[in-house]
Structure 1
Amino acid sequence: MGLLVVAGEEIAFPPVFNVASEFIDRHLREGKATKVAVRTRKGDTTYRELFEGVNQTANFLDAAQVGRGERVLMIVKDSVEFFFIFWGAIKAGIVPVPVNTLLRAKDYAFIIENSACAGLIYSPEYAGEVEAALASIPHRPGLVLKIADEGDTLANRIAPYSTEFAAVEASPTDECFWLYSSGSTGNPKGAVHLQRDMVVSSEFYGVRTLGAGEDDVFFSAAKLFFAYGLGNGMTFPLWVGGTAVLLDEKPTPSNTFALIETFRPTLFFGVPTLYAAQLQALENVTPDLSSLRMCVSAGEALPADIFRRWREHTGTLILDGVGSTEALHIFISNRVGQFKPGSSGLVVEGYDAKVVDEAGRTVPTGETGRLFIKGLSMAKYYWRNPEKTAETMLGEWINTGDTYYRDEHGYFFYCGRSDDMLKVGGIWCSPFEIESTLIEHPTVFEVAVVGRSDGEGLVKPEAWIVLNDEARPTEALEDELRTFCKTKLAPYKFPRRFHFVDSLPKTATGKIQRYRLRAEE
């Protein structure tokens, strides 16, 4: 197998290239066998133990007669077992498919059928939904394995197998792994990624943008089953020979603060909703966050107010960025020394971006349009979905479906999903701009803005608001919020109606599902 060469904006891949060799095997060759690769509350895993567990899992999958190029679905919580299965599959020439662990039986049934998977491995926490899905469909994978925390564990299953395994030969552009989109509308789409893709995102974002290195300890509250978490919590630390910290439960201010205090990560990755909840908690608790040198946000645009408040409370920057399942990770990002609160940042090295109109022409600086992106980590196509492939993957470019504008300094500003934009009084209006204003009000914890037709059939903004604990919904508060918006926004942008709710509907990645709010009466 040839050598991988990284120089400037070019990555030279050898013709024979199995990416597991770079992310797993390389660390033993470089003398990191005894270094801790993964930390959880159950214990540490060294790079040698990771190497051996990956190889044993590859041998196990091979013995289970999962064929080359066949899919293994992973409905697995964040754990070292996730690492074993993912990299063991790749090493054996099998395609791992991490799946959202928050889905319901009908979604799992669709993915099992759609992927035609040969294997299905799941954690016991998800057994009810997974087993209901299997019972509802004709397709039965040849390997169905529930891995327990005690007794019938993955470690016990793979223990009889050799700790040596020669990686199956592949090329940089061979299919490697899939990620299903979050499916905020319709069925999830299986984005097919290649052997080279994790190298590209890890080098250009992890190393060149974040400055990540082998001394870093990475803690991602965002889960491994989707693209953002996969990079933060697994590929970036393995690429640089650092250490990953994993949390196997739903992230909250309490448990994330506890892990930061215990494991002392240097890099923390969250989503705006979590940062907002943590800021609220910081009014009453004072966790030791001094190990953090940097924080990252993605999944939903980060309001400038949360950026400012986090910096005031912690002294640490949150670097907001935008990425996608199709691009694998973040392709536009703020960075240390180059950031604008409220923006998504500048184009990441190794990628290119443009904002285009409906005819595909680049729009002038300051004008809104649809964001297109290109780079070497882009998914090849959507599995069994030629219509969406043709609609989204336009030659070298990916149509992100996001509306953006670019300022005179090259910073990109999010204006909402293309189908979330509102036309109020004949003028395009960004729901995110209104949300960013409302979140500055001290009574507002979370907010989502959607369009609603009034009695004359004209679209007007309306706000769905989660209040802070001390606040109570009243007509006086509505008037106050309305006036607050009018004083800070163009006059046509204020919400005409307010709905006070306990929570907002979101995808697993933390994105607000505005289409569900639009469907509410």
Structure 2
Amino acid sequence: MQAAPPPAALERATPALPLPPPAQFNFAEHLFALNTERAAWPAYVDDHDTLSYGELETRAKRFCAALRALGVRAEERILLVMLDTIELPIVFLGALYAGVVPVIVNTLLGVPDYVYMLTHSRARLVIASGAVQGVVSDALDQAQGGECLFVISQPADDAAPLAREHHVLHELIDNAPPASRAVQTGSDDIAFWLYSSGSTGKPKGTVHTHANLYWTAETYAKPILGIGENDIVFSAAKLFFAYGLGNALTFPLSVGATTILMAGRPTADAVFARLVRHRPTIFYGVPTLYASMMASPSLPERADVALRICTSAGEALPREIGERFSRHFGSDILDGIGSTEMLHIFLSNRPGEVEYGTTGRPVPGYDIELRDEAGKLVADGEIGDLYIRGPSAAVMYWSNREKSRATFLGDWVKSGDKYRRLPSGCYVYAGRSDDMLKVSGQYVSPIEVEMALVQHETVLEAAVIGVEQDGLVKTCAFVVLKAEARAAPLPLTELAQQLKAFVKARLAPHKCPRDILFVDDLPKTATGKIQRFRLREQFQKPASRS
């Protein structure tokens, strides 16, 4: 008789999925139809302007017509190197309406990255915000593979004149009549790409369908967030990330909510200004931002904001940060995990059921498995590789058969994350598969050690890596101190010993950091994820090691 699988083997979320979209389905057309009675309602408010739902639809349809006039055809790609302003949703939805495939990319990259993306995507057109028009123009000069039309959105006043021939976005839109109908696309037709950059190799063009956008709103935004037309939402994560795209476009437009956009960097002070001025009811952040917010002397009072729910993704949210935020603002942070491959969050805490220190439970419609290195299911409490099955999974990595076959395994997607499942049914993040450490023959999760360190009253942030010493792997912690701790007279060597004792009192001895390095900040991606590979490089040249 075959034994039953261990409890953590497969987590099937309930209830059942909502009705799927029809076979003939264009997501932009779907959104416009949902909001026909909200024409005067504000869809977007950015740093300079407000855009109503009626204006969004009209200008997106004008951009659709402009694309056709420029000779850009359905299924061809256009690269969007655009800041978070009202122009970006206009362009994104206009492209979907035209059956053209928008590829939203990070605005913080360098010329070589854009050269690669232009060439890899074979983009027929690129739109750049004025702040990045110079670097994109340089990339176009170096890119290979045919002519690519160049469009400038919001030309910068202080930008150098461009020698390259180009169009201006608002002129293209103003001079085009609204397209009368959408291109007939199927729910499984390619809608857009997002580039996912792994720990090694070139960025991967992650290909998503029109239906994938629909599913993230139906499975997460509506049942988990309870988002509605009266909500005002603000996402610190930018639209060029899968997390931000759902937060600031898919979700609010699916219910008629209003979205606040910010073009600049989401510093704590910049976020506070918008929380107070616009009083959003839903805020989407990342753990490093929440930590800096709670450490800031400018933290607003509860009465100054209108938050009802917040979310966190990108890295595990430290328990202490979540609890302090909740006590101060009276609003829970729903920690969750998503990915570019799954488009948005598939594992999340829920309102009224938050367990800080965990990533919660599967989102309705998604199945979770934890497997060992041999592909066998693991039991509760054991660390395993995270596999997901759900309706928003990407189709493939464009022109990368090897990586596609390693990630998209039939109905399942291998995330590259390590997790363990608690008896309560909640999942605890253990780190990326390539960041896991084996110390004294036992797995050590860097996240677990970091979570212990940030509970200390002097620690603002921490990151843990493995380093080889005398042929053995030991843990090393990089620590950013709070401002008051930096000003204290306590020697760093003595503070390091206190931190080591603090961790030893909470974790097994082999998990305690052998070295502690005090740094001013941690290297991060634009999403706020810690770049541990840079810390491994930096370990050879530490400033303050104890």
Flag whether TM exceeds 0.5 (same fold). Answer: yes
Give the corresponding residue for 1:462. Answer: 476
The amino acid of 2:262's aligned partner reads: L
Matched, 1:517 2:523: no
Does the 8 Å contact 1:192/1:381 carry over to 2?
yes
The amino acid of 1:416's aligned partner reads: G
Counterparts of 1:279-358 in structure 2, within 5 Å, are 279-282=294-297, 286=301, 288-358=303-373
The amino acid of 2:531's aligned partner reads: Q
Matched, 1:50 2:56: yes
Q: Residue 486 of structure 1: which of 486, 499, 504 is its match? A: 504
Q: Residue 82 of structure 2: which of 39, 57, 76 is its match? A: 76
Deviates further, 503-512 or 423-432: 503-512
Q: Residue 158 of structure 1: which of 173, 191, 195 is its match? A: 173
Distance 2:315 2:304 in 1: 23
Question: Displacement, 1:182?
Answer: 3.6
Give the corresponding residue for 1:3. Answer: none
The amino acid of 1:329's aligned partner reads: H
Question: Displacement, 1:27?
Answer: 0.9
2:369 aligned counterpart, secondary structure: strand
Distance 1:349 1:43 in 2: 37
1:291 aligned counterpart, secondary structure: coil
Give the corresponding residue for 1:221. Answer: 236
Matched, 1:27 2:35: yes
Q: Deviations over 1:1-26 (max 9, x none)?
A: xxxxxx95132322211111112243
Matched, 1:368 2:374: no
Q: Percent identity?
A: 45
Distance 1:80 1:40 in 2: 6
Deviates further, 175-184 or 47-56: 175-184
Give the corresponding residue for 1:506. Answer: 524
Output the TM-score relative to the length of structure 2: 0.91
Distance 2:462 2:381 in 1: 26
Distance 2:129 2:413 in 1: 34
Distance 1:376 1:80 in 2: 29
Distance 1:155 1:119 in 2: 15
Deviates further, 378-387 or 12-21: 12-21
Structure 1 residues 346 and 430, CA, compared in 2 at 3 Å: closer, same or farther? Answer: same
Deviates further, 163-172 or 243-252: 163-172
Distance 1:375 1:328 in 2: 10
Q: Deviations over 1:43-70 (max 9, x none)?
A: 2111100000100100111111111100
The amino acid of 1:23's aligned partner reads: L
The amino acid of 1:27's aligned partner reads: N
1:471 aligned counterpart, secondary structure: helix
Matched, 1:115 2:121: yes
Question: Displacement, 1:440?
Answer: 1.1
The amino acid of 1:413's aligned partner reads: V
Q: Deviations over 1:433-452 (max 9, x none)?
A: 10001111122111110001
Give the corresponding residue for 1:258. Answer: 273
The amino acid of 1:119's aligned partner reads: L
Distance 1:263 1:285 in 2: 13
Root mean square deviation, CA, Å: 1.6
2:430 aligned counterpart, secondary structure: strand
Question: Displacement, 1:309?
Answer: 1.2
Structure 1 residues 285 and 47, CA, compared in 2 at 3 Å: closer, same or farther? Answer: closer
Matched, 1:477 2:495: yes
Distance 2:172 2:362 in 1: 45
Structure 1 residues 468 and 117, CA, compared in 2 at 3 Å: closer, same or farther? Answer: same
Q: Deviations over 1:458-484 (max 9, x none)?
A: 111000111112324611111111111
Does the 8 Å contact 2:34/2:254 carry over to 1?
no
The amino acid of 1:403's aligned partner reads: K
The amino acid of 2:456's aligned partner reads: H
Distance 2:451 2:134 in 1: 39
Question: Displacement, 1:138?
Answer: 2.2
The amino acid of 1:519's aligned partner reads: E
Give the corresponding residue for 1:18. Answer: 26
Give the corresponding residue for 2:425. Answer: 410
Q: Deviations over 1:359-386 (max 9, x none)?
A: 2221111111100001110000000111
Does the 8 Å contact 1:231/1:329 carry over to 2?
yes
Structure 2: any 5+ residue segments left out of the alignment?
1-14, 158-166, 541-546
Distance 2:425 2:218 in 1: 22
Does the 8 Å contact 2:293/2:299 carry over to 1?
no
Deviates further, 462-471 or 280-289: 280-289
Structure 1 residues 93 and 505, CA, compared in 2 at 3 Å: closer, same or farther? Answer: same
Question: Displacement, 1:122?
Answer: 0.6
Question: Displacement, 1:184?
Answer: 4.1
The amino acid of 1:458's aligned partner reads: L
Q: Deviations over 1:355-413 (max 9, x none)?
A: 01112221111111100001110000000111110111100100000000111222111
Distance 2:196 2:299 in 1: 37
Distance 2:169 2:114 in 1: 22
